[in-house]
Amino acid sequence: MRISHVTALFVAELEQRILASDDTDFALMLGQWLARFLTANFCAVYQLKDIEEHLARRIGDIEVLLSGEIEDCVHVASEVYAYGGHSRLMRNLLSASEKAARCVVLTRPADPVGAAGILDVQTENIGICRAPSESSRVVELVAMLLKYRTIVLHIHPDDVIAAVAVALVKRLQPGRLVCFINHSDHTFSAAIGHADFVFEVSGYGWSLRAARGTVHSSTYLGIPLRAQEKASDMPVSGRILTGGSAYKYRPSGSRSLPGLLMSLLDRNSAVHVVAIGPKASDAWWWRLKSRFPSKFKRYARIPHQDYVRQLSDCSVYVDSYPVTGGTGFTEALIAGADVAGIRGGPNGYGVADALRSSNAAGFVDDVERLLRRDPAALAAQAKVRARARELHAIEAVHARFTAAIATGDLVPLPAELACDDYDFDFRTEWAKRGSPVCVGFAGRRELALLPALLGCTLKTLGSTAFAITLVAKASVGTAREMSLSWRYK
């Protein structure tokens, strides 16, 4: 595949620029841009441990004055959000500990009060890295992390600053334990190469252990979910709910969820559809909206409590497609909703996968059976729901987490989550584009990268379009930096 070849040349050129640079801050910024590029481009590069260790050596031997007792555990995130599954996973894992013992470090500017509310953590137990330059942020993070015996990483895949800080911590104090929660299980991830334990949340992530080089450090964790106890069955409202990131619904060939939902609305006059996550600009939803303006409602991202209210009022929860959801599908089942989905995505996130239909026609039939409350269909839902609550209960997930740390024993992937054919191949889908995805800039400081990136682009990719996009995204990065400066000043 030509795209793989030219992308490999581009990545190799960027690595050489990082290694050759005599400006540490520039090298760190370029490393972080490269991490974003690798996260967006599925070119079979899953970690850059050697580059991260090189950057740690560039920082040099630093002196950190430690005072007081070393505390037990800290959870580290890049940013947290009131929506989506990743911050909720972190909150649920933290909730298994006493509130006073929940300690968090955020590696990027944030409002501590807002973050404390999202994670249910005391505000005084949230540390925020605020140093102005890349190298000073690394040093500040090292000082924060050395106060703890166990460091649990929930970081974004592109958080090279945190990865370099962890590499330095391991060099200064080899006895410190680093745990990596593999949220972004299908992409490149900074820092994963420094982890003593890689906690996998899915069968899909488990299937990439050899490619990541984590076969001997991976252990199954699973997604911790809080069961919503209900006094009665979910309402028979005729409402179908689906939720997920907008990109997960982008049709691929004949695989299109909006088209299937249109079939259901054509055949069932009482049915309504609510979609949470799609953007107004996503053209693949327009025909559904124009055909059924009163029966289809779209929301962008909404806070989790609003999502829970939507979930409590639906008859059937439908998973995203062709890219399946992670947390949402099993969470909806545990909450008491009846669920439906289609096989063919990056599965293995929860035992709810057993309820997926094998094809599109079967999916439409299965949803209709659930809408009319077919006893056999409801019995299958109840059986899988009971197992899901057992495997994904917060207490069960936390027990696997603490047992691995205490004993060093790795937990295998449960057999029911294993799949011989993870048939949504991100690499194949990416290769169909024909050219690499251009990523943006984190802010005005990263504009200093533009000349080097343009040089690498013209030398290896030979793409004028990619170069033009780089310049355009540099402007967007500048606007974002100005917005963040105003928000967190």
Which pLDDT does position 9 carry in this prediction?
A: 94
Q: Between these two residues, 140 and 63, which has the higher pLDDT value? A: 140
pTM for the predicted model, two decimal places: 0.88
User: Strand 71-77 and strand 148-153: pairing?
Assistant: parallel
Question: CA 364, CA 263: separation in Å to the nearest integer?
Answer: 8
Please write the tens of the pLDDT for every residue from 391-447: 999 999 999 999 999 999 899 999 888 775 665 678 888 888 888 999 988 888 889
Give the domain ranges of the chain: 2-45+425-488, 59-224+393-417, 239-392
- Average of per-residue pLDDT values in the chain: 88
Which pLDDT does position 228 carry in this prediction?
A: 64
Question: CA 181, CA 89: separation in Å to the nearest integer?
Answer: 10
Q: Does this chain's domain 59-224+393-417 share its CATH topology with 239-392?
A: yes
Q: Between these two residues, 200 and 234, which has the higher pLDDT value? A: 200
Confidence of residue 298 (pLDDT cuts 50, 70, 90): very high
User: Which CATH superfamily includes the segment(s) 59-224+393-417?
Assistant: Glycogen Phosphorylase B; (3.40.50.2000)
Max CA distance (Å), the chain: 70
Which pLDDT does position 269 carry in this prediction?
A: 86
Confidence of residue 319 (pLDDT cuts 50, 70, 90): very high
169 and 142 in contact (C-beta within 8 Å)? yes
Q: Between these two residues, 396 and 344, which has the higher pLDDT value? A: 396
- Which residues, in sequence order, are CB contacts of 236 under 8 Å at separation 6+? 315, 371, 373
The DSSP output letter for 324 is P
Which pLDDT does position 200 carry in this prediction?
A: 95
Which pLDDT does position 53 carry in this prediction?
A: 95
CATH of 239-392 among 3.30.565.10, 3.30.30.10, 3.40.50.2000, 3.90.580.10: 3.40.50.2000
Confidence of residue 84 (pLDDT cuts 50, 70, 90): confident
